[in-house]
Chain A
Amino acid sequence: MRIPFNLLVAFFALSTLFFVGLSIVTGAVNISFSDAYGVITSSFSNRETTEYSLASVVLLELRLPRIALALLVGCILAQSGAVLQGLFRNPLADPGIIGVSSGAAVGAIVAIVVLPEAWKVWSIPGLAFLAGLGTTFLVYSLARSEKGTSVVILLLAGVAMSALAGAAIGFMTYFADDNNLRELSVWQMGSLAKAKSEELPLLLFVCIVLVVLFQRQTNALNALLLGESEARHMGIKVERLKRNAIILVAIGVGVAVAYSGIIGFVGLVVPHIVRMLCGPNHRFLLPLSALLGGMLLLISDLVARTILTPAELPIGLITSLVGAPFFIVLLLRERKRWY
């Protein structure tokens, strides 16, 4: 049964707002609804102060940046997954498949193990982003020939690059000292705990640019669902579409991974749920994936930071715990189709 797009948008938007509200008033520190409202409204006045109340520190410096980061990263990862699945006409595609995530992981790990401690604040996200982007260009150039870009070669090159990245990560891990080794483990499990308000404008900008540019490609992505030659006959410049989409995905995922570590399965699971609800039309699929991706990551983060309080779980564990069984169900469904 297909649910009307407008109804789904309204439902996802209201649900997201509800979970944002729930995330604001839920956490290890108890903050009442009225206190939260007071802190947030008073923060709009431009008074500079050096005094910090517990509620204002928790809300303005911890919870709100974290909520915003979860929404933005979730939105970017889910949209990127939806675009890649459409581009490759492969329901199992996600941002990790073309090597962006593993490339970014190599960059971050080089920053952790090799570069000086004092540079880590910017070197980890910076190198993660650059390595993710570089890996994607490499994979893309391997798959590209005079005849065009082969999706099969692209996927296989992605798998090969991921394997190479895995070897590089293993190599760096082996030579890391104890402290770096622990930091590597933490980073690879993903976390939104380092969210800072200063980092959000860049992510917000990237997110908005991606949403707008992806939305402009929806007709072309829909045409591509029929097959590459059919899309060409319909006047779609397939090569340009592939190149642009892959570069945009690399930028989005590179930035997201740089600030949150590796968070798996969001890009895989979310587009599938949306497709089940409203069908494969990218015009509806992309904005709904963005909304649901943000909401899913927000809920995962809420669980991650409250389930073991006063400690917290890495968010990547929560998304993998939900995503992996979903992936298995997906494989079983695909198997039925093959035999």
Chain B
Amino acid sequence: MRSAGISFAKSLACFSLLLTVITTQTALAEDETPRIISADLGTTQVLQALNLQDAIIAVDVTSVRQPELRGLPSIGYHRQLSPEGLLSIKADALVGAADMGPETAINALEKTGVQIIQQEPPKTIDTLIENVRTLSTEFNHKEDGEKLINIIEEMRTTLSNTSVKQKTAIFLLDMGGHGGANGSMAGQGTGGDAFLNLLGLENMAKFPAYREASRESLIALNPDVIVLASGGRPSKGPKLEDSEVIALTRAAKEKNIMGMNASTLVAGLSVAAMDEAIRVKTTLAKK
């Protein structure tokens, strides 16, 4: 059925085309290797681990931070993808999180035969394994997939075999000490919460999402462990771990303030995040 809106647009187009004399030509070389757009850091990391790095032809803003991918075109933020921008890359597949969009971009790609693979950001090891299995099957890298899954399973075993006496924890995202902030505390369902689950610790923050932690609540919660996540760049402000409030907690008194690299959790659990969990849990187990 023809809509009035599109007719209006077409009429405008016909008139204006007579006045416009711009022509462009393009010719992209055909390539036999799959051309993949990765719209999510977690996906990018899995693709790299599956030896599919050479197949990645464009990445989203979070993946651009990866040094080895810096030269690739950036498709921007995965929830505000440019449909035309994606089509211009002439990819075979777009892989990303389940909430990438907008819908017009996904529909346009599907109509032109681009394979769309959407995955849940992994909050558990099982989801991470499922995502690895899906990607390795879709891109015919099953062998690499099985190897990676074995590594993840080994890491899971290491984590479950390492026991710690500490029970409770909070996960604080270090905001660089701006304005005397106490850090953003990870609530239920967040990447930080998933990280604490890996450590086998109870997340004392029962609210959803990340919330600014008040000084009083930090003292009142009095966790056994505080995980301090930072972006990996040196902060110019005062360090959160030096905060007088944190010093009053049991975690500080027992020297259970553990640093970790927050970038490993940007897209949910990753192999790098599991590595960090093993390091932190092993340190805690020695206490």
Contact = CB atoms under 8 A, between A and B. Distances in A.
Interface string A172-185: 00111111011100
Give the residue among B9, B58, B83 with the most A Cβ atoms within 10 A.
B9
Contacts of B208: 177
Nearest to A13: B15
Given A62-B83, A309-B88, A68 B9 contact: yes
Contacts of B15: 17, 20
A217 interface: no
A241 interface: no
Give the residue among A46, A198, A200 with the most B Cβ atoms within 10 A.
A200
Contacts of B22: 21-22, 25-26, 33
Contacts of B10: 40, 43-44, 64
B104 A40 contact: no
Contacts of A53: 112
A29 B88 contact: yes
Nearest to A31: B24
B6 A197 contact: yes
- Chain A facing B: main interface SS: helix
B133 interface: no
A36 B3 contact: no
A62 B84 CA distance: 7
A177 B25 contact: no
A207 to B, nearest CB: 10
A200 B82 contact: no
Contacts of A191: 80
Contacts, number: 187
Contact of A193 (B58, B83, B189): B83
Contacts of B61: 311
A60 B73 CA distance: 26
Contacts of A176: 209
B105 interface: yes
A54 B114 CA distance: 11
A41 B2 CA distance: 14
Given A63-B84, A198-B5, A32 B209 contact: no
B60 to A, nearest CB: 9
B5 A201 contact: yes
A305 B82 CA distance: 7
B14 A41 contact: yes
Interface string A19-39: 111101111111111101100
In which size bucket is the chain A interface?
35 or more
Contacts of B81: 311
Contacts of B256: none
A325 interface: no
Nearest to B210: A178
A262 to B, nearest CB: 14
A76 interface: no
A30 B24 contact: yes
A200 B5 contact: yes
A194 B104 CA distance: 6
A84 interface: no
B111 A24 contact: no
Contacts of B3: 197-198, 200-201
Nearest to A24: B13
Contact of B25 (A32, A61, A310): A32
A54 B21 contact: no
Contacts of B24: 25, 30-32
Contacts of B85: 28, 305, 309-312
B220 interface: no
A193 B4 contact: no
A310 B5 contact: no
A69 B234 CA distance: 45
A14 B112 contact: no
Contacts of B88: 27-30, 309-310
Contacts of B210: 178
A197 B4 CA distance: 8
Nearest to A309: B85
Nearest to A193: B102
B157 interface: no
A310 B35 CA distance: 15
B217 interface: no
A201 B4 contact: yes
A52 interface: yes
Given A65-B9, A194-B103, A312 B76 contact: yes
B161 interface: no
Given A57-B87, A178-B209, A305-B82, A200 B6 contact: yes
B8 A68 contact: yes
A241 B59 CA distance: 54
A310 B111 contact: no
B17 interface: yes
A178 B17 CA distance: 44
Contacts of A14: 19
Given A62-B104, A197-B6, A28 B84 contact: yes
B17 A57 contact: no
Given A18-B20, A64-B9, 4 more contacts: A24-B16, A310-B86, A311-B61, A311-B74
20 contacts: A17-B12, A21-B18, A26-B22, A28-B82, A32-B25, A33-B21, A52-B111, A54-B87, A60-B6, A61-B108, A61-B111, A63-B84, A65-B6, A67-B9, A68-B12, A176-B209, A198-B5, A201-B4, A201-B5, A310-B75
Q: Considering the complex of A and B, which 4 residue pairs feature the smallest CB-CB distances, nearest first?
A: A200-B5, A311-B76, A21-B20, A310-B85
Interface of A: 14, 17-22, 24-34, 36-37, 40-41, 43-44, 46, 52-54, 57-65, 67-68, 71, 121, 174-179, 181-183, 186, 191, 193-201, 203-204, 305, 308-312, 314
